[in-house]
Structure 1
Amino acid sequence: MAKGHVLVLPMPCQGHVIPLMELSHRLADEGFEVTFVNTEVDHALVVAALPPGGAAELRQRGIHLTAIPDGLAEDEDRKDLNKLIDAYSRHMPGHFERLIGEIEAGGGRPKVRWLVGDVNMGWSFAVARRFGIRVVSFSPASTACIAFMRKIPKLIEDGVLNEKGWPERQETLQLAPGMPPLHTSLLSWNNAGAAEGQHIIFDLVCRNNKFNDDLAEMTICNSFHEAEPAVFKLFPDLLPIGPLVADRELRRPVGHFLPEDAGCLDWLDAQPDGSVVYVAFGSMAIFDARQFQELAVGLELTGRPFLWVVRPDFTPGLSTAWLDAFRCRVAGRGVIVEWCSQQRVLAHAAVACFVSHCGWNSTLEGVRNGVPFLCWPYFCDQFLDRSYITAVWRTGLAVAAGEEDGVVTRDEVRSKVEQVVGDGEIRERARLLRDTARACVSEGGSSHKNFRKFIDLLSE
C-alpha cells in the first residue's frame, strides 16, 4: 500500500520537467504513488524519448504520466515564454481542476493528498487547495533567483525598479554579502523574451510570490546549503534538498524531450581522462548561423576532443554543406549529437570542462561532478548562475561577446577554453565544491536532513 498519492506539476519547460521527475523517483523510492502532469505537447515528447519499456517501468515504480492542454495550438512556438506563460496561466487551471476531479472519481488509486508544484505554476496551488489537497512548492532554479523575486517589493520601494519591474538605475545589485552580484539589466523577468511581453512574466512572478506565501506549507529547492549559504540565511524557510538525482547509476528516465544518443558515451570511454570539452546549451537557446560557425571553428582551433550537443532546432538556416564540411574536418576528434544523457557525460572522467548556457540543472550537474565551466548564458536566470560560477564559487570563466555585434569569436572560444582547462586553481575549487555537494546529500548531510523533513511532512 502506497504511503500516499502525490501530484507533481512542472512548468512546461525541459529544465523544469527533469528535476521534478528526479524528485518523483525519490518519492517512489519512499513508497509514494506519483501522478506526473505534463502538458500534452511535453507529454508526447517525453513518451517518445523513453527507451523501450520506459513507460511501463515508470508505472511499475508508481509514477504515472498524464497530460493536460497548455492552451496553445499544436504548431505554436513554445520557446516564446511570454506566449507560453500567458496561455497556460489562462487555460491550464480549468484543465487541472478537471484532471483532479477525474482522479478523485476514478477510484482504484489512493486519494491525492499532496501537490508538489513548480513555483512558477502558483495557480495550481489554489486549484489543489479547493480539493483539500495540501501544497509543497518546488523551486527548480537557484535559490538566489527566488531571493531576487521575493525582494521585488523592496527593490521597487528603494527606487531600483519601477512598478512594472524595469530598472530605474543601471547598477550591480548584491542582496547580501556572499550572494552573486547581478546587474539590473540582467534580472530574470526582463530577459526571458520580447520586451513587449515582459509584463506577462513579471506579473506571473508577483502572483507566484503571493500563491507561495499564502498556500504552500513548505518550499523545497534543488540546491544545497553550502552552495548558497547567504540566501538561506536571508530566507531560512527555503529548504534545499539537492543536488537531485533520480538514482546513483543515472539510468532512470528523467523526462527528456529528445532521445539520448548513447554512442557518445562509448566514444568518451576511448578518450584520455581530463581531455574532452563538453558543449551544451540546454533546450531553449538558439544560435544564428554566424555564431554557430564561430563556436564550431573555435572548438576546432583548440585541438582538443569535444562533444557538442546540437539540437535539431539549435541553428535554423545553417548551411548543411558547411556543417558537413566541418564534421569531416573534425571527424574522430569532434562528436556532434542531438541530445545525450548529460549527467552521465559530466560524470565521465574524460570530461575536462563544460561550455554551458548555465541553466541551473546544468550548473548543478557540473558542480556535482567537479567540472570547470566556460559560461555562455542565453536568457532568464542563467546570468545569475554565471555570477555564482565566476564570482562566488570561482569554478569557471565566462565568454566575452563583441561590443558592437554581440558575437563571441572563434579566438575567444579557443582562448577561454584553454584558460579554463589549464587553470589548476579552478579545477581544485571545482573539486572541493563537488565534495561538498556530495556530502550534503549523503546520510547526515544538510540536504539529506531537509529531504527527510519533506518526506515526514508528506507522510502526515
Structure 2
Amino acid sequence: MEHSTKTHLVCMALPFQGHINSMLHLAKVLHSKGFFITFVNTEYVHQQLLKHSGSFSAHAGLPDFRFASISDGLSPPDDDSDEYREDIRNILLATQENCPASFLGLISALNDPSSGVPPVKCVISDSFASFTLNATTKLGIPNVFYCTVAVCGFTDFYYCKDLIERGLVPLKSEDDLANGYLDTIIDWIPGMITVRMRDLTSFIRTTDRDELFLNFVMDGAHASSQGTAIIFNSFSELESPLLNACSSKLPPVFDIGPMCLLSQYIPNDSSTSSIGGLNMWREDLRCMEWLDEKESGSVLYVNFGSLTNLTSKQALEFGWGLANSGCSFLWVIRPDLVVGDAALLPQEFSEITKGRSFITSWCPQQRVLAHAAIGGFLTHCGWNSTTESICSGVPMICWPFFADQQINSKYICSVWGIGMEIDEDVTREEVEGLIKELMEGQKGKETKRKAVEWKEKAVEAAKPGGGSWRNLEKLIEGIIMKDY
C-alpha cells in the first residue's frame, strides 16, 4: 500500500525512558498492521536520542514510520556530556506549560495538504501526556490513551482523589511516615486487593495537597476518562478484576500486552522490525558475551531503571549484600544513579567480586532477561521491567522506589507470587539473605516455578491469535477506523 493512502496515527510519548520504550513497542505493532506512524518526542529527548540511538537516526527517514519532535522549552542536553539526567520535576513543568500549543501546531502542520503525509486520523498518547487533549478536542480527532503503567498502578493513581476526599491524604505531619499511619488498611478500591497505604503510590507520602507529582498522576489518570479509549499494557489473566473495574467507569478499555512481547511477533518482512530501541544512554553489549560464559540460571541481574536514585549508603548496602551473597551478578549503575559524589564502591568490593561481577552503565535489558544465564532480577519494579521479567520467566527481588512501583511490588509478591520484597531501609544482611533464597532456596524454587507459569500465560496472550491481538483488532475496527 502506498504510504499516502495509509491511515495516519500520531504516537505521543511522555519524555521518560520507560514510557518511550513502551510507546515504541506499540507504535511498531500498529505499523505492522498497516498504519502510517509519526512518533513524537519532546525536543529535549529527541536531541538525546540522536546521540545514543543508532537506529533512531538511521531509520528517521522510513517512508511510513517517521519521528518528529515538539518544543518543550528546555535547554538542549550538553553535547559534550555522555550523561543524561532526567530532572523529572523540571521536565513535567516544562511539558505541561509548553507542549499543548506545540503539539497542536504539529498536528495542524501534518494535516496541511502540502505536508506530503496523510491527514492524522487518530492520536495515541501516553495516558500521562494528556496535554494532547487540547489539540484533539480542537481538531475533532480521536484521542486513544495508552497507559504504560499496570492496571493496578493506574487504579492506584485514579483513587488518590478518593484518599484526599476521605481525609487520608495529605499526611497531617511528617510523623505519619514513621508512626504506623502508613499501615492504615485500604480495602475499598474497586477491583484491588486489600492493601496498606504504604503499598500505594509513594506520592501520597506528602503533607502538601498541591504536591506536583501527586497531582500529576492523579489528574492524568482522571483525564483518561476524556479519551476515546484506553489501552493497557497488560493482559486479562494478569489483572482481570482491575480491568473489569476500569471497564465500568472509563471509556472502552483494551488490554493489549505485554507490549514488549507483542512487538516480537511483528513479521520479519516489516520495515519497522529493523528499528531497535530508543535509548538515553549508550548500551554496553559486552555484558552479553560475559553472560554467555555463565551457567544457566546462575546470574542475578540488578537494575533500578532510568529514574531511581540511591543514597551512597543504600548503594553500599546493596553492593555488600551482592558481594557477600557469593552470587554472580550483572549490575547496571547509571551515571546518575547515586545521589552525591562519594565513591560508589570501594576497591575491596571489586577484589572480592572479581570474576563473578559485571558492572555497566546501561544494557539491552530485554535481551539480558531472556538470557539463559539469568536466574533472578533485583529490580525497582517499574512496569516495563516487571513485564519484561514476566515475559522471560524470571523471578524478582523487589525494591520499589517511587510512583507506581510500590503497588507493582505488592502485586508481584502477594498476588502473582513471583517476587520477594526488600524493606525500604535496605541492609546488606537482608539483601544477602534474599539473594541466597531466590537463587538457591526452596521459596526461590517456588517463585521461579510461578514465574515460568506466568511467562506461559503472557506468551499465550501476546502470540498471534491470542487475546491481546484480538483486542488490538477490536481497537482498530471499533475505535481507530470508526468515522467520527
TM-score where L is the length of structure 1:
0.90
Report the counterpart of residue 89 of structure 1 in structure 2: 96
- Please give the alpha-carbon distance, in whole angstroms, between the structure 1 residues aligned to 2:418 and 2:86: 30
Alignment partner for residue 253 of structure 2, among 238, 258, 265? 238
Amino acid across the alignment from 1:101: S
Letter in 1 for 2:66: H
Pair 1:257–1:93, CA change in 2 (3 A): same
Match of 1:439 in 2: 460
Provide closer, same or farther for how the CA distance between residues 251 and 227 of structure 1 changes in structure 2, counting only shifts above 3 A: farther
Kept in 2, the 8 Å contact 1:115–1:125? The answer is no
Indicate yes or no: 2:201 matched with 1:188.
yes
Distance 1:308 1:189, change over 3 A: closer
Shift of 1:336: 0.5
Match of 2:69 in 1: 67
- Describe the superposition over 1:403-423 as per-residue Cα deviations: whole angstroms up to 9, x where unpaired: xxx3x1211111011112222
Decide whether the 8 Å contact of 1:371 with 1:430 is kept in 2.
yes
Residue 387 and residue 31 in structure 1: after superposition, are their counterparts in 2 closer, same or farther (change >3 A)? same
Offset of 1:203 from its aligned partner?
A: 3.3
Alignment of 1:303-314 (within 5 A): 303-314=326-337
Change (3 A) 1:341 1:289: same
Give the equivalent residue in structure 1 for 2:35: 32
- In the alignment, residue 59 of structure 2 is paired with which amino acid? E
Deviation at 1:320, TM superposition (A): 4.6
Deviation at 1:149, TM superposition (A): 3.1
Kept in 2: contact 1:82–1:197 (CA 8 A): no
Report the equivalent of 1:220.
231
Quick one: distance in 2 between partners of 1:267 and 1:44?
31
Compute the displacement of 1:447 (Å).
1.4
> Matches of residues 139-158 of structure 1 in structure 2 within 5 Å?
139-158=147-166
Alignment partners' CA distance in 1, 2:409 and 2:457? 19
DSSP 3-state at the match of 2:61:
helix
Q: Match for residue 247 of structure 1?
A: 264
Cα distance in 2 for residues equivalent to 1:252 and 1:361: 19
1:109-141, CA deviations, whole angstroms, 9 ceiling, x for partnerless residues? 111111001111112123123123211011000
Deviation at 1:283, TM superposition (A): 0.4
Q: Which amino acid aligns with 2:438?
A: V
Q: Cα distance, 1:269 vs. partner?
A: 1.0
Among 44, 48, 51, the alignment partner of 1:45 is 48
Per the alignment, do residues 136 and 332 of structure 1 end up closer, same or farther by CA in structure 2, a change over 3 Å counting? same
Q: TM-score by structure 2 length?
A: 0.85
Q: Describe how 1:18-417 pairs up with structure 2 within 5 A.
A: 18-51=21-54, 54-57=56-59, 59-60=61-62, 62-74=64-76, 79-105=86-112, 106-161=114-169, 170=182, 171-175=184-188, 179-188=192-201, 190=203, 199-214=211-226, 216-236=227-247, 237-245=252-260, 246-248=263-265, 252-320=275-343, 322-401=345-424, 406=425, 408-417=426-435
How far 1:57 sits from its partner (Å)? 2.9
Question: Retained in 2: the 8 A contact 1:180–1:384?
Answer: no
Moved beyond 6 Å, runs of 4+: 75-78, 166-169
**Match among 437, 441, 444 for residue 419 of structure 1:** 437
Contact 2:8–2:121 (Cα < 8 Å) also in 1? yes
Whole-Å separation in 1 of the counterparts to 2:364 and 2:50: 16
Partners of 1:156 and 1:191 lie apart in 2 by 9
Q: 2:81 aligns to what? A: none
CA distance in 1, matches of 2:64, 2:50: 16
Conservation of the 8 A alpha-carbon contact between 2:49 and 2:56: no
Report Cα offsets for 1:221-264 as digits up to 9, x if no partner: 11111111110121224211000123359974232211211111
Does the 8 Å CA contact 1:39/1:70 hold for their aligned counterparts?
A: yes
Query: CA offsets per residue over residues 312-348 of structure 1, 9 Å max, x none?
Result: 1112445559455533442321000111110011111
User: Aligned Cα RMSD in Å?
Assistant: 2.9
Give the match's secondary structure for 1:114: strand
Partners of 1:458 and 1:255 in 2: how far apart? 26
Aligned-partner residue type, residue 186 of structure 2: L
| CA distance, structure 2, for counterparts of residue 162 and residue 291 of structure 1 | 27
Which residue of 476, 479, 482 maps to 1:455? 476
1:309, 1:338 within 8 Å by CA — same for their partners in 2? yes
- AA of the residue aligned to 1:118: D
Identity %: 30
Q: Which runs of 5+ in 2 are unaligned?
A: 79-83
The code of the aligned residue for 1:341 comes to P
**Cα distance, 1:373 vs structure 2:** 0.4
Does structure 1 conserve the Cα–Cα contact (< 8 Å) formed by 2:159 and 2:189?
no
Deviations 1:164-195 (A, max 9, x none): 9x999741324468734443245427269x86
- Letter of the structure 2 residue corresponding to residue 377 of structure 1: P
SS across alignment from 1:66: strand
Per-residue deviation at 1:26? 0.8
The Cα shift of 1:88 comes to: 1.3
Equivalent position SS for 1:339? coil
* Amino acid paired to 1:221: F
State the AA in 2 paired with 1:38: N
